[in-house]
């Protein structure tokens, strides 16, 4: 069973006039305001992708391991470097959402953008050994694989939340995003409209910025990339901020419940096949956890006008 990178669009190199202080997705979600409270401290993340290049803005990467057929753990195609920067970039113009989170780069995709299910399984086993809080997987296949599903279930039972890109062919949600144990993420543009390429289906949990996302690239550079591959790490970064405010490990069920309770509903009312529960509102998410007292959720009544 072969897994691969969903087809994605790269704008590279970025000219000076196109490079912003922070990416539009961070600005639109007012992420810099959250940094006054947390930058993702104490949260551990595994990025299962094409590896991560050496880049001065990726100081939060705590080791690179290779499970691919390549001889090096370093990224050779840019995709994993871009994904990692969205999560934990430390310097403008590629400051990530959770710049003080710790990221482990687990390379499974080789220079041809392909890997086998066994490579992803081994990386998931390593993520369990590392006892990470979150796993980001921006890769996919149109068909399920029983061994990979078992590895995903193992990680989920350990309390690891797995976030996966829905896919970029506009069709059904790819695997592993289609598995019930993962958070499947679709992509939206600057107008919060679902991108035409974003896969759709009842498995979608939420959507996030995935068009022209600015982040780190090979050779110390930057690129603007479009795809659900960019939306998935965006969600991982948001969840890292949330977990950091909890100051404890959060279970997959707890995070899923928090998303469904606080997401900004888009599309059809309630959960739908385009947006899932909607767009994660990190500010409401943090307020939601602030209302938790001894494991009981307190709902505050609205004031009567």
Name the residues annotated as catalytic. Answer: 49, 79, 229
How far is CA 96 from each of CA 85, 123, 226, rounded to the nearest angstrom? Answer: 6, 23, 16
Whether the CA torsion 221, 223, 227, 231 is positive or negative: it is positive
Tokens of 132: 């990470």
Length of the chain: 305
List Cβ neighbours of 71 (8 Å cut-off, separation of 6 or more).
Answer: none
Q: How many CB atoms lie within 10 A of CB 160?
A: 25
Alpha-carbon dihedral 244, 245, 246, 252, rounded to 10 degrees: -60
How far is CA 19 from each of CA 52, 92, 95, 163, 295, rounded to the nearest angstrom? Answer: 21, 9, 12, 28, 44
Phi, psi of 263 (to 5 degrees): -65, 145
Give the CA diameter of the chain: 66
What is d(CA 76, CA 53) in angstroms, rounded to the nearest whole number?
Answer: 7
Phi, psi of 24 (to 5 degrees): -60, -30
């Amino acid at each position: 069973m072969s897994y691969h990178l969903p087809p994605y669009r790269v704008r590279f190199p970025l000219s000076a006039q196109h490079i912003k202080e922070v990416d539009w997705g961070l600005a639109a979600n007012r992420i810099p305001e959250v940094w006054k409270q947390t930058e993702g401290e104490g949260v551990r993340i595994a990025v299962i992708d094409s590896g991560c290049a050496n880049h001065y803005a990726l100081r939060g990467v705590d080791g690179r391991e290779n499970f691919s057929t390549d001889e090096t753990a370093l990224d050779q195609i840019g995709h994993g470097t871009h994904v990692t920067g969205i999560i934990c970039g430390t310097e403008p113009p590629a400051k990530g959402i959770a710049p003080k989170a710790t990221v482990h780069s687990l390379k499974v995709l080789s220079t041809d953008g392909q890997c086998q299910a066994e490579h992803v399984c081994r990386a998931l086993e390593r993520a369990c050994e590392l006892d990470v809080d979150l796993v980001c997987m921006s890769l996919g296949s149109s068909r399920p694989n029983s061994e990979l599903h078992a590895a995903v279930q193992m990680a989920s039972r350990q309390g690891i939340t797995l976030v996966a890109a829905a896919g970029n062919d506009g069709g059904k949600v790819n695997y592993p995003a289609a598995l019930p144990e993962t958070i499947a993420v679709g992509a939206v543009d600057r107008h919060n409209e679902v991108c035409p390429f974003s896969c759709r289906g009842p498995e979608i949990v939420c959507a996030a910025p995935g068009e022209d996302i600015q982040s780190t690239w090979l050779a110390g550079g930057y690129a603007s990339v479009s795809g659900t591959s960019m939306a998935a790490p965006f969600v991982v970064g948001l969840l890292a901020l949330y977990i950091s405010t909890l100051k404890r490990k959060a279970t997959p069920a707890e995070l899923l419940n928090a998303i469904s309770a606080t997401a900004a509903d888009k599309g059809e009312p309630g959960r739908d096949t385009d947006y899932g529960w909607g767009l994660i509102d990190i500010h409401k998410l943090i307020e939601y956890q602030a209302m938790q007292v001894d494991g009981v959720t307190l709902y505050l009544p609205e004031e009567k006008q």
